[in-house]
Structure 1
Amino acid sequence: MEKRYIHALPIQPTTRNYLPKKSSKGIQTDNPFANHLKAALDKPTSLTISKHARERIENRAISLSANDWLLIEEKIAQAKEMGINESLVMVKDVAFIISVTNETVITAMNREEAASQIFTNIDGAILLET
């Protein structure tokens, strides 16, 4: 009599009903991390201005054009890629301290004020001439 060997194969489901539902963008919607990721991807890329910075901008009558803000946003994105966390950004006659990791303007001042300041806890500087 001939010997026959039977090898057991792992049982695999025949349907995909066990997978969570996916949204239209292919990201799982019932996963909290996936929801957070989707929200981050859908977020506009504009900088957030903190309450403190907003008050400084209003009190000092600081104004920049939309093009200046776009240029700052581009440079902040580049700084983020380089691993910078906090940056001094000087443009025209204005200086900003910006949290690159949070994409948030922390404070704003004119260049005269900035000239007499010591800036700490920054690891990058962006100087823009527009």
Structure 2
Amino acid sequence: MGFRIVDGRAYPVGNFPNVSAGNAINQNKLKNSNRFKDILDKTIEKNRGYTLSKHAADRLKEINFNEQDMDAIGKGFKIAEAKGAKNSVIMYKDVALIASIENKTIITAVEKERAKENIFTNIDSVVIL
């Protein structure tokens, strides 16, 4: 695979952004999108086997899930995937996690108190951990 250098950054051929000298907004987005923390977080999520949407990450910070909890949720993904699920609700510690099994992404997390009178649609399975 070949690479091109655009504004001092290497991009795979055919996958480089449209940046011109006068387009400061795109240049700032490039600088911010490649921060070390973002890259580290993505690597950790890949090793975990699933990703968190921004909304789910914010909710899970409020709930104070730890690394063991995240590993248990990963087991829920594996169970759902083994059964052929596409979109699932993973029940864990009085929290409903809405997950896209196909995309390996937790879309949102809803605590028991907030879940009253809510409807979850387009769900084909429930995993209870």
Give 1:114 shift: 1.5
1:55 to 58, 64, 77: 58
Give 1:100 shift: 0.7
Q: 2-side partners of 1:45 and 1:96: how far apart?
A: 16
Q: 2-side partners of 1:100 and 1:67: how far apart?
A: 20
Q: 1-side partners of 2:108 and 2:59: how far apart?
A: 7
Give the letter for the 2:60 counterpart.
I
Instruction: Say whether the 8 Å CA contact 1:52–1:107 is kept in structure 2.
Output: yes
Instruction: Tell me the matched-pair count.
Output: 84
Give the letter for the 2:68 counterpart.
N
Matches within 5 A, 1:9-88: 43-58=46-61, 61-88=62-89
Q: Max radius of gyration: which structure?
A: 1
SS in 2 for 1:97: strand
SS in 2 for 1:70: helix
Q: 2-side partners of 1:66 and 1:49: how far apart?
A: 13
Gaps of 5+ in 1: 1-42
SS in 2 for 1:44: helix
Which contiguous aligned blocks of 4+ residues in structure 1 show a shift greater than 6 angstroms?
none
Q: Percent identity?
A: 40
Gaps of 5+ in 2: 1-45
Task: Tell me the TM-score normalised to structure 1 length.
Answer: 0.58
Instruction: Say if 1:126 and 1:115 are closer, same or farther in 2 by CA, change over 3 A.
Output: farther
- In structure 1, the partner of 2:28 is none
- In structure 1, the partner of 2:90 is 89
SS in 1 for 2:84: coil
Aligned Cα root-mean-square deviation (Å): 1.6
